[in-house]
Structure 1
């Protein structure tokens, strides 16, 4: 059972492979704030648990807001009609006011019933009986949202799982466009592959720009690069263009810049301790950064040693507050970003 997002992908692939081969657990508790994997498992169970001829009498799909625990337990304790098993699915199970009472059934589930409890944006209390009994007698999948710095490596792994490779810059650009929404990345990838020549295996930055609708030239990813190099004219131009976008949100931009400068601070502190740190130490300081980009951080720490990096982070905290409506005066979000960029460059 996955405890977080690190192994949830491989866990779900194993579950899906099992259900496709006809192996089912009596209970699936699918939970967490990232629905991509839990929806995938739920759909796979629904698709494979019954053949078409058995669905009318042996498939019950309901929503947590419409049922109570007694109704679900009664349905789950029925025996299948002229079939090997029956399927009971409760979507949005977190909406059930007495969800915890389902622990009574999960303690002794029927082998002839497959019960799926799909929670959206919520998780069962691990201290209570439902979670414990589902873990003991069934399968629990907990899919938590990834952090933004984890997205480029997740994208690379996702593409690899589909028999594709993606440039590190392309992965970073796609991550900026989609944020931490795994489902959106899957949708954008499907759309892109339909527009690329059949048999394409290598995805480039240009492919992302043409098919996803984001420009590398004027992206937060490119802004961090120019800030690292202290290229003032280019950084200010990029900041101005980003701020003009109808989709621009100051908190998201500040979050990306904070992640970038937090890495610079960690790397600068490491370089102060050891002029030539080993690769393992660098990887730990630059968590989530593809080695392809490490040289950029060598430039960055030269421009932002520990003291300056700390000043930038303090500035980012100030503009995070302003970007969320605090003491920003009449400045627009775009103007705040240009102002912030100018102040970072002057440190």
Structure 2
């Protein structure tokens, strides 16, 4: 039976009630949730005024086993708990899992079996290698917290929960947000939790004593101040978010962007999408696909997600609509905003 894992919410609830584990493994792809979880443990475990004396960060590529364990065995200073965080942890485990380092690995595992109850040890991992015995032991002995990014459809509910959570703290004393405002905020900002959190805090300041944030608040606070780029437009089209794509086109033109630049970049975007469509017929490995297209691992994930939303015929049609828009802008008196908006509408809906 697989060991039960905690998630962000269950961890927050446990530490709020002072239920701490001596060793945690934080792993996943959402850096914002990892940082928030570390803060949650630190602020609930260590009293105000003495945190700097009871909080240490070490790096796996630098720290040696004996030094790490000596640090973990230190007593708290005027506090009931200490917190030690290890980053770059994969390098630490790769180092001690070598055959010549067997005694170090054994020493570390022995600590995990009998950890110091006064120290909370947080190990931050990106991609555990479960082929290595050290990781199997670690996941067996530590409290596992999986901190992965929410899916696209989960973002509005994450926004709503975050607003309620932040709204409980002074000086706000109770704030909520409408469902429509959550969706609009996601449309403007995207799925980055850190950026969403920043915009939520701006909304709190903008709305002041008002208890419920609505869509108009989001438009006034986020929409009017946000500068969009052609990459935002690509992402909105790739996600088939028609409302946001039209807004971005209008904002870019208002900011002085040339229609020809928008068309050129979108043509390049769909060319990449088409190449990926062809390559994926014979190659499934994202890393190899990224190398073939000279894209970063982050961007190849984005492109693959977007490719799933477009059929082959829809990509071909996109090129047709781009050419039509280019000809209309060059030869007709129709306003560029109308031409580009119609083009985006056809690409996303037809």
Shorter-normalised TM-score: what interval? Answer: 0.5 to 0.7
Aligned to 1:208: 218
**Matched residues in 2 for 1:123 and 1:311: separation?**
27
**Matched residues in 1 for 2:25 and 2:211: separation?**
36
Matches within 5 A, 1:261-276: none
Aligned to 1:284: none
Deviation at 1:204?
A: 1.0
> In 1, are the aligned partners of 2:29 and 2:148 still within 8 Å (CA)?
yes
| Candidates 165, 170, 185, aligned match of 1:174 | 185
Deviation at 1:58?
A: 5.1
| Candidates 189, 194, 206, aligned match of 1:195 | 206
Aligned to 1:60: 56
The size of the alignment, in residue pairs, is 263
> In 2, are the aligned partners of 1:80 and 1:112 still within 8 Å (CA)?
yes
**Matched residues in 1 for 2:23 and 2:199: separation?**
32
Which deviations, in whole Å up to 9, do the C-alpha atoms of 1:154-213 show, x marking residues without a partner?
A: 223333444543233321121122222112222211121112131x22111110111123
Matches within 5 A, 1:108-119: 108-119=114-125
**Matched residues in 1 for 2:86 and 2:309: separation?**
50
Superposition TM-score, scaled by structure 2 size: 0.58
Change (3 A) 1:339 1:185: same
Q: Secondary structure at the match of 1:125?
A: coil
Tell me if 1:8 matches 2:7: yes
Change (3 A) 1:177 1:135: same
Deviation at 1:241?
A: 2.1
Aligned to 1:296: none
Tell me if 1:17 matches 2:26: no
Deviation at 1:115?
A: 1.1
> In 1, are the aligned partners of 2:7 and 2:145 still within 8 Å (CA)?
yes
> In 2, are the aligned partners of 1:89 and 1:116 still within 8 Å (CA)?
yes
What stretches of structure 2 of length at least 5 have no aligned partner? 98-104, 168-173, 271-307, 321-325, 330-336
> In 1, are the aligned partners of 2:72 and 2:119 still within 8 Å (CA)?
yes
Deviation at 1:127?
A: 5.5
Change (3 A) 1:319 1:106: farther
**Matched residues in 1 for 2:54 and 2:309: separation?**
63
What stretches of structure 1 of length at least 5 have no aligned partner? 228-234, 255-309, 323-328
Which deviations, in whole Å up to 9, do the C-alpha atoms of 1:11-42 show, x marking residues without a partner?
A: 13213313xx3x42110111211022221221
